[in-house]
Amino acid sequence: MTKIYKGGKKPAVLDFNLEIDDGEFFCLVGPSGCGKSTILKLIADLEKPTSGKIEKKGRVAMAFQSAGLFPWLTVKENVEFGMKMENLAQHEIKARTSKYIELVSLAEFSNKYPRELSGGQRQRVGLARALAVEPEILLLDEPFSALDPLTTEELHKCVLKIWEETHKTILMVSHLLEEAYLLSDRIGVMRNGELIKIFKVEDTRPREETHKSFSILMRQIKKEFSNK
Ligand code: ADP
C-alpha cells in the first residue's frame, strides 16, 4: 500500500507490503519521519491508504507513546472506558478490568488518577486499556520512548509477559534497535517510507544487549541505512 497525505509532496509510505504471522511479535524500526507511525495509523483505521489495502484477521487496539489516558478518570475507569464504548455487559467489564490491571501489576493503583502515577505506570495503564477490549492485534507506537532505562526494562518484561500469556499478534514501532532486538521475532527496517529489509531474530528470550548476535544485527541494520 501507499499513503500520500493531503498536501504531502512525497509518499509517507510507499509500496509497503508485509505479512505478519498470527501471534508474531514484529517491530518496525527506522529514523524519525520514515513512515512508521503512518503504518500503525493505517492498520488502526485512523488513516486511509491512498492505494492498496490492509487485511486484518482480527480486531486491533493501539497503545500510544503518550499513554493518552483521561486525567479525570482513575486507572480502573480508564481501563473500563474502551469496553464501555463497546457496550459490554457490566459484569464482563468488571472481570476484564481486574484481569488486565492485574496483568500489568497495577492492582493496588486501581483507584489512583494518572497524575499520581509514574510514567512507566501510566504506560502500563495504556497497555491494560488496549488489552481489555481483547483485540487479536496489538499495536504499540513507541510506548517506551519517553521513559528512563530502568522503567523501560521493566516495561519490556511486562510486554513480553503479556505477549507470552495472551498469544497476541504485536506490531511495535520503535526507533531503538536495542528494543527491537530484545522483544521481536522479526525486525522490519524502514527508510523514506519504504520497507527496505526484514531481519529475523533467532535468539531465545530473555535476550541481552551484550549478546554477540545483537552487535552483528546492529551492524547489518546500520549498513542498510547507509547503503541506500
Ligand atoms: P515516523 O513515525 O517514522 O516518525 P511518520 O509516519 O510520523 O514517521 O511520518 C512520515 C512522513 O509523513 C513524514 O514526512 C511526516 O512529516 C509526514 N506526515 C505524518 N503525518 C502527517 C499528516 N497528518 N499530514 C501530513 N504529513 C504527515
- Beta strands 186-191 and 25-29 are parallel
Least confident window among 22-26, 113-117, 172-176, 223-227 = 223-227
Burial status of residue 201 (CB atoms within 10 A of its CB: 0-12, 13-18, 19 or more): buried
What's the pLDDT score for residue 228?
Answer: 56
- 95 is written with which cell numbers? 472481570
Q: At residue 145, does pLDDT exceed 80?
A: no
Q: Which atom of ligand 1 is nearest to the CA of 7?
A: 25
What's the pLDDT score for residue 143?
Answer: 79
**Residues β-bridged to residue 197:** 189
Average pLDDT over residues 57-78: 91
**CA geometry: angle at 174 spanning 221 and 80, to 5°?**
155
Distance, CA of 64 to chain centre: 7
- Please state, rounded to an integer, the average pLDDT across all residues of the chain: 93
What percentage of residues in the chain have a pLDDT greater than 70?
100
Q: At residue 6, does pLDDT exceed 60?
A: yes
Q: Identify which of 142-146, 159-163, 224-228 has the greatest average pLDDT.
A: 159-163
The model's confidence at residue 134, banded by pLDDT at 50, 70 and 90, is: very high
Average pLDDT over residues 15-23: 97
Average pLDDT over residues 163-174: 93
177 alpha carbon – ligand 1 mean position (Å) = 20
Q: Cβ(158) to ligand 1 under 6 A?
A: no
- Beta strands 25-29 and 194-200 are unpaired
Average pLDDT over residues 125-146: 90
Helix (H, G, I), strand (E, B) or coil at 164: helix
Sequence-separated (6 or more) residues with CB below 8 Å from residue 18 = 26, 188, 195, 198
Q: Cβ(8) to ligand 1 under 6 A?
A: yes
195 alpha carbon – ligand 1 mean position (Å) = 15
89 alpha carbon – ligand 1 mean position (Å) = 38
Cα–Cα distance, 80 to 161 (Å, whole number):
22
**Cα atoms found within 13 Å of the Cα of residue 53, Cβ hemisphere only:** 2
170 alpha carbon – ligand 1 mean position (Å) = 22
Q: Is 131 within 8 Å of 166 (Cβ atoms)?
A: yes
Pocket probe for ligand 1: among 5, 9, 145, the residue whose CB has the most ligand atoms within 8 Å is 5
As a residue count, the chain comes to 228
